[in-house]
Structure 1
């Protein structure tokens, strides 16, 4: 694992030159792959105490049945998975909302396992991890690392790293897939082959949906 120096990092950032400049702070929504899916960040039903973290005995609350109960159609939403999909402000005290801008550790591990099966070098695939300015609250430094796919969790503070949130972007050096976790969203977009999408949907620990911006918006 190595942190890319400013010059190296800026060369990598040239790949995103056509995207809006503000995405340097939130994460880049790069395009160009055959398909994409959204990994929905976890939420929990709790005892109603307004906890900020999920208790060990909290029940995971899946998005799809909850949205159905609320009469919300994901495919009709103007925005990617976000707080705008839900009618609550504030949220009920017995529901711990999904985290904005970061996957939970269990979902990160599951996602990395799937990505490894669709990478030329498996878990040893060399990747670039990028952390946007809002995820680090550091707008003067380009926080970018090159490392094997299997070592991505080591970047996180829970594992001795320096970052609280999972990477804003992650991609292999051959650009065969791409991961985007926007700081303001409740889901992580994964782009790549149709085979990768099928593997994501088959992973039981991940809640995965297909969402595209409605026509005309």
Structure 2
């Protein structure tokens, strides 16, 4: 394990812990996203806006350098700069006059760069993290899941990294175990821009969290109770994909 990553409450687990997902989705090459639970929803990664600057039509290199964030790069388990406010995806879609969905080649796609018409995001905004939960969203999601998971924050869980999109070598797969409260520790305490795990699940497999390396949202699949808790939490923003998925 690279010295730049601290696992804190996690430990190396047997890679065989992932076998059940491979059986459910044998064609998966990166993260696992099987449709094996009765309900699912997508938690949208945060968009942040600097309230002290007006709208910008293109990236301002000086402002971008000052914030230390590059909109085209994965920023790991990032937090917004102090004072920046969160912009809900629905709010931005209304502002831009676009539907709250995205498509590619005529087909609906999960939350990603196809959902907004920007080729370059304004310098006064930080686009959603690609391939990783941001810190405010990730922390809140874990708190919500703890309320509907047997054992709460102490529930034993597995976290799986496919190796895609993180700074320790492409395709270096890693399986970790630890309590729910610690499942994001590899990203939280890393000295590099380490992304959050591709997949996280409790040992009872009541739900599965998936963060794919090129998407701007994290899918949570599980029981109707789990999905309802996520969708009704006022601090999380979620959406059904495809849009016609029946609500629980």
* TM, length-normalised to structure 1: 0.85
Q: Which residue in the other structure is 2:49 paired with? A: 45
Structure 2 partner of 1:66:
92
Report matched runs for 1:11-30 at 5 Å: 12-17=18-23, 18-23=25-30, 27-30=31-34
- Contact 2:210 2:220 (C-alpha < 8 Å) held by counterparts: yes
1:55 — aligned with what? 81
1:76/1:135 CA distance change after superposition, 3 Å: closer
Report which of the two has the higher share of helix: 1
The match for 2:11 among 2, 19, 27 is 2
C-alpha change, 1:195 and 1:45, in structure 2 (3 Å) is same
The count of aligned residue pairs is 208
Structure 1 SS opposite 2:164: helix
Worse-matched range after superposition: 97-106 or 176-185 = 97-106
Which residue does the alignment assign to 2:40?
36
Unaligned regions of 5+ residues in structure 2, if any? 1-9, 57-62, 70-79
* Larger CA deviation: 140-149 vs 37-46: 140-149
Kept in 1, the 8 Å contact 2:164–2:171? The answer is: no
Output one character per residue of 1:51-70: Cα deviation in whole Å (capped at 9) or x when no partner.
Answer: 44432121211101211232
Alignment partner of 1:178: what SS?
Answer: strand
The 2-side partners of 1:182 and 1:114 are apart by 21
Q: Distance in 2 between matches of 1:30 and 1:162?
A: 30
* Mapping of residues 145-184 of structure 1, within 5 Å: 145-156=176-187, 158-159=188-189, 164-184=194-214
- TM-score for both structures, normalised by structure 2: 0.75
**Residues of 1 paired with 2:243 and 2:29: CA distance?**
20
Q: 1:175 to 1:68 in 2, by over 3 A?
A: same
Q: Is the 8 A contact 1:74 1:211 kept in 2?
A: no
